[in-house]
Amino acid sequence: MKVETVDVPIDHYIDGKRVAGSAGFEVRTPIDNSVLGTCAAANKDLVDRAVGAAGVAFHPWAQAGAVARGAVLRRFAQRIRANKAALSIVESVDNGGLRHAIAAHIVERSAQNIEYFAARAEHIGGEAVSGSTNTDVVSYEPAGVAALITPWNGPLMLSTWKLGPALAAGNTVVLKPPELAPLSCSLLASLAEEAGVPPGVFNVVHGDGSVTGQALADHPGISRISFTGSPQTGRKVATAAAANLVPVSLELGGKSPFVVFASADLDAAAATAARQYFNAGQVCLAATRILAERSIAGPLLEKICEKVGAMRVGDPRDERTSIGPLISARQFERVTGFVDRARAQGAEVLFGGRQHSAGELYFEPTLIAPVSQESEIVQNEVFGPVLTWQTFDEEAEAIALANDTTYGLAAVIFTGDAAQAERAGRAIVAGTVWVNSFFVRNLAAPFGGFRKSGVGVEGGNHSFDFYCNVKNLSIDYVSFQRGASSTLTRLQ
């Protein structure tokens, strides 16, 4: 498939070869909702073939050792960097992400995801824990074949976030890219091949979740499943994994609070609030519920309106664009439905609330004052450029509102009081809480969600806790002396 100047393979990648599918599915660009072409779709037999290839490749890759694997993976990271222009073109056209942001940040972060875990894997395990009689030696052993299922809102970065630790740990991988944006992941497989990743170590199967994803999650040859997506699909993945007693790592949805206290730097808070519209709001970590202390609510709202008013909605290939399109017509209908129902229930649309003139799948950045905390627009994930606006009088009320959803992925707090930051940060139920900042991701730090936002933690050694079998070898070294003596006695 030709994407502007870039040739992108549209077949599966299995055992180091491109393999055609028995069927195909249409790939569209959200830029203008036109058809880019047809991508191969994998049935159960092709999934079985990919898992089989990964199974055969597992032992040689695992036994190569972390240092040897690291050398290959560093070359893989270098190939990602060397193809920044191509990856930026493909991902932007494929999922509507801002091309300038992909080129400036996403590609580099994707390379870092591979490099970081390659280096980290060389230093895990081997520690000895001494007891009263035995010495316990901890080792991290690769689990087997890992199934990686990634979402359409960040296919390149989120695939490498999973690939890095899975491959560095010594596992082999079958990656299922998102059917709405499969192309950058397909290109990634070609770069892995160029880097010398052995056949069967990294496989890619395309297709939708109901067929390809289900066959992968059900497969008895899979040892780990890492999934990023909706809670609804996450439940299906967990159910399939449970049948084979396969550990899962699930990063699911979010409905994160953005709490602004009276002592905050309002300019910084407003600028960060506007950033929640990044990627047309299609970011699970976005803090979409603005909670403002009543005494500063008016000035803060004015500043937010000013910041958002300066943002340009339009073609994501244009470096002047701040907000691009939604991924599909279905997603556009979902976002429109949320806004229309909120309006019908009496919510006040403070700005936005309708289709943008930029095109079919473009929606205006929107801010809604809901009727109540129980409103659908407050409680459920929209996954579009739609935020809600609420006020509070006291810190305890802010925390209660922040925690009053079924999610717990992330939160943002703006305050000028360090003690308040620590109190509120500890009290808010979320896997990551940013204070006076947003989207700062240290690869060594834990990342995961609470409640409906996910199961499991990754990042740093937490990733290896998941992608490895953590083993304890407990040895009574004194027994060797006793054993030698007793053996001698028996021989006499």
Helix/strand/coil for 355: strand
pLDDT in tens, 295-335: 999 999 999 999 999 999 999 999 999 999 999 999 999 99
Mean pLDDT of 252-265: 96
Please give the Cα distance from 379 to 407 (Å, whole number). Answer: 9
Among candidate residues 18, 100, 146, 95, the one with its CA nearest the CA of residue 331: 95
Helices 84-95, 107-121: inter-axial angle, 10-degree rounding:
120
Stated as kind and residue range, the H or E segment containing 13 is strand 12-14
> In one letter, which amino acid is 68?
A
pLDDT for 134 equals 85
Given this model, what pLDDT does residue 482 score? Answer: 66
Instruction: In whole angstroms, give the CA distance from residue 330 to residue 349.
Output: 22
Write the Ramachandran bin of 55: left for phi over 0, alpha for psi from -120 to 50, otherwise beta. alpha
Q: Would residue 284 show up in a list of annotated catalytic residues for this protein?
A: yes
Q: Considering only residues 54 and 23, tell me which one the structure prediction assigns the higher pLDDT.
A: 54
The H or E element containing residue 435 is strand 432-435
pLDDT of residue 485: 47
- Among 70-74, 125-129, 299-303, which stretch is predicted with the lowest mean pLDDT? 125-129
Strand 23-29 versus strand 34-41 pairing type: antiparallel
pLDDT at 395: 97
The mean-pLDDT minimum among 130-144, 187-201, 248-262 falls in: 130-144
Flag whether pLDDT at 362 surpasses 50. Answer: yes
pLDDT over threshold 70, residue 124 = yes
Residue in 39, 91, 115, 162 annotated catalytic: 162
Which whole-number Å values give the CA distances from 108 to 115, 120, 441, in the listed order?
A: 11, 18, 13
Structure tokens at 136: 């316990």
Residue 35 makes CB contacts below 8 A (sequence gap 6+) with 26, 27, 28
The pTM of this model reads 0.93
Whether pLDDT at 418 is above 70? yes
**Contact predicate 38/24, CB 8 Å:** yes
Mean pLDDT of 431-452: 93
For the record, the structure tokens of 391 come out as 């006020």
Residue 159: other Cβ atoms inside 10 A: 27
d(CA 141, CA 87): 33
The reported pLDDT for the residue numbered 433 is 97
Contact criterion met (CB below 8 Å) for 154 and 184: no
Q: Indicate the DSSP class of residue 451.
A: G
**What's at 428, amino acid-wise?**
I
Does pLDDT of 432 surpass 60? yes
429, exposed or middle or buried, with CB in 10 Å at 0-12, 13-18, 19+? middle
Write out the two tokens for 437.
Answer: 């900042």
Our answer to whether residue 162 is catalytic in this structure is yes
Closest CA to 50 of 201, 160, 153: 201
Average pLDDT over residues 357-375: 97
Structural domains present in the chain = 2-252+449-473 (3.40.605.10), 257-435 (3.40.309.10)
Instruction: Give yes or no for residue 420 having a pLDDT over 50.
Output: yes
Average the pLDDT over each of 129-138, 144-153, 389-398, 407-416 and give the range with the smallest value. Answer: 129-138
Among the options 284, 303, 364, 381, which is catalytic? 284
Q: Is 458 a catalytic residue?
A: yes
What's the CA gap between 13 and 206, in Å, rounded?
9
Answer whether 178's CB lies under 8 Å from 155's CB.
yes
Residue 483 is predicted with a pLDDT of 57
Average pLDDT, the chain: 94
Digit-coded pLDDT (tens) for 11-40: 999 999 999 987 899 999 999 999 999 999
The dihedrals phi and psi of 132, each to the nearest 5 degrees, come to: -70, -35
Q: pLDDT digit string (tens) for 188-236?
A: 999 999 999 999 999 999 999 999 999 999 999 999 999 999 999 999 9
Model pLDDT, residue 488:
36
CA-based end-to-end distance of the chain: 79
Q: How far is the C-alpha of 117 from the C-alpha of 465, rounded, in Å? A: 13
**Two tokens at 249?**
């790592």
Q: Could you tell me the pLDDT band of residue 487, with boundaries at 50, 70 and 90? A: very low
Q: Is 251 a catalytic residue?
A: yes
CA 292 to centroid of chain Cα atoms:
28
Identify the pLDDT of residue 481: 74
Q: Which of 115, 179, 293, 458 is catalytic?
A: 458
Radius of gyration of the chain (CA): 25
> What percent helix, strand, coil does the chain show, rounded to 5?
45, 20, 35
Rounded-to-integer distance, Cα 308 and Cα 20, Å = 45
Catalytic one of 91, 115, 179, 251? 251
Tell me the one-letter amino acid at 389: W
Lowest mean pLDDT among 35-44, 338-347, 437-446: 437-446
